[in-house]
A and B are shown apart, each in its own frame.
Chain A
């Protein structure tokens, strides 16, 4: 309610970024894609937690228009002028931001690449998860719970986005392993809850029996569940991202599982590696996290507020790698 009062009082304020003057010591700039997707919020909280533990400061750069290429480019130009000690970087577009990364390289600022692997530029390290294996493992989990058979629909993300292409490829490969399972339709939900809900409503009209729904992110999975509930139907639904609402839906038995993209740990490790490299401590140059499927059996560790999660220790971090 306090926030409401602030809104009422200042209808015309905008989400300004707090900018500290650069003090002596390390200040790291963290670049994320947008303020709308909860996933990037988990990355930011993870990065902040690691920085706090290592006594460094962070500055966040987030495009005001979600995933805006020109905006992230101009933020890079701004940051080069400010000269932070190092940068933790998620490109809004893995190809289009290469010139931006090259600018950072020219300015001799060390940079760690997180989540979306940049198509070019020089990085201290890459920390990410593998969308393909995440899609594959989560879909396998669902198909196993269906006994390897049944009617399945896929709800895709934004057409042409790397995450959607890889996750959906994983879904399809899991389906190929289960000849008893039948893919009824693969339709676009654009990572939007409402579109997924309407796609699901429409698909239910043409298919009287849908046993499983593979959604490329949690918001769409929850949208599909709302549609199923509205029609008094049941199906096994999975999502991807491990967001708070997905954990809640798993707890209440509505969602079967979600693939954990582990943004918190990615933020932790990206930040930790950046600071370690500044302090000339050994680093791991490539960490691809093992996919974890969160379900009724193992959701407890995820059921805590983000702020109270702890980053893995450096020893634990070295064990998280699939490579």
Chain B
């Protein structure tokens, strides 16, 4: 049951193809879990499972927004820098006003604003997203370094910190947020007209334009969503780390891209799912968690991560029935 051409708009047909891909990834995650259960007794415990899920959630928020951008055939390299600037400004607002709610709104607002600027560069100025968001990364770094002046900001209200480190009915609060955004993101992408239009733009932008899809406004939307998700992630970071510093997000962009790729979303656009990205983030987190539990030497850890990314994308190409 395969279609040899790229689907113009993925109906039920492409979805089943995606489902098979997601199934493969869940299998991979399951195999990693099984291996770790055998190798270390501390892996398969409620405490560690919750721990892994909470660590996954941080990566997932950033990667989920990025998934929509990648589905349109674009890339957002400014997400890490966006997390940093959103966290630093939201942190200031909380310190100055004492209001966590205002801080949360600020963080998401700053993130979305950055996303809007990215989107305008891509749609109005027609700058390729790779370059526009790379430029944005530098601008944000510059502003954040100047703003923080080598200082760190720390100490936030206990109530606010619950967002990152609290529990509700035995589950960490970020895990609830992750499940919520996973549901919203999946429904949006698979079940709404706008979501389907995003797939169509990624699969063939020219055809999408000719068939009357408002390409520019849909593109604007995905960059704003990507930015807003980085803003949301910045709030979780702030609440979890109890501090903000200028390089808070520096090491997040590449793992987020890796999570999207491992999750089976194609860099060429038009193929992939938000759920796949969740599994990708889970696999990356599981690998790091496992290496810590097994006390793998620090020298080998980046190498293992790199091999997993390459392997996942290669297997993805092998298991997809149509050549890309």
Binding site for B on A (CB under 8 A): 1, 3-4, 7, 11-15, 35-38, 40-41, 44, 64-66, 156, 159, 184-188, 190, 192-195, 197-199, 201-203, 205-207, 219, 222-223, 226, 229-230, 243-245, 248
Q: Are B243 and A245 in touch, CB under 8 angstroms?
A: yes
CB neighbours of A7 from chain B (8 A): 89, 143, 147
A195-B251, A226-B242 given; A206·B141 CB < 8 A: no
State whether the Cβ of B51 lies closer than 8 Å to any Cβ in chain A: yes
Give CA–CA (A174, B141) in the complex, Å.
39
Return 6 A-B CB contacts under 8 Å, by A number. A1-B92, A13-B142, A41-B150, A197-B240, A229-B165, A244-B151
Find the B residue at minimum CB distance from A195.
B251
| Total cross-chain contacts (CB, 8 A) | 131
- B110 to A: closest C-beta gap in Å: 9
- A311 to B: closest C-beta gap in Å: 19
Question: Interface-forming stretch among B8-16, B208-216, B260-268, B292-300?
Answer: B292-300
Q: Are A198 and B145 in touch, CB under 8 angstroms?
A: no
State whether the Cβ of B314 lies closer than 8 Å to any Cβ in chain A: no
Give CA–CA (A223, B298) in the complex, Å.
18
How many B residues are at the interface, by size bracket? 35 or more
CB neighbours of B48 from chain A (8 A): 202, 205
A187-B298, A198-B288, A206-B293 given; A40·B150 CB < 8 A: yes
Q: Are B295 and A64 in touch, CB under 8 angstroms?
A: no
- B214 to A: closest C-beta gap in Å: 26
Q: Are A202 and B51 in touch, CB under 8 angstroms?
A: yes
Nearest 9 pairs between A and B by C-beta?
A: A41-B150, A14-B142, A202-B292, A188-B298, A15-B146, A206-B42, A35-B145, A36-B247, A205-B48
Give CA–CA (A252, B311) in the complex, Å.
47
CB neighbours of B190 from chain A (8 A): none
- List residues 274-303 of chain B with CB under 8 A from any CB of chain A: 288-289, 292-293, 295, 298-299, 301-302
Q: Are B295 and A223 in touch, CB under 8 angstroms?
A: no
Contact residue among B55, B138, B152, B295 (Cβ-Cβ distance under 8 Å from A185):
B295
Q: Are B295 and A1 in touch, CB under 8 angstroms?
A: no
Give CA–CA (A64, B42) in the complex, Å.
43
State whether the Cβ of B139 lies closer than 8 Å to any Cβ in chain A: yes
- A223 to B: closest C-beta gap in Å: 7
CB neighbours of B223 from chain A (8 A): none
Q: Are B55 and A248 in touch, CB under 8 angstroms?
A: no
State whether the Cβ of B316 lies closer than 8 Å to any Cβ in chain A: no
Q: Are B150 and A38 in touch, CB under 8 angstroms?
A: yes
- 1/0 per residue, CB under 8 A from A, across B139-170: the answer is 10111011101111011000000000100000
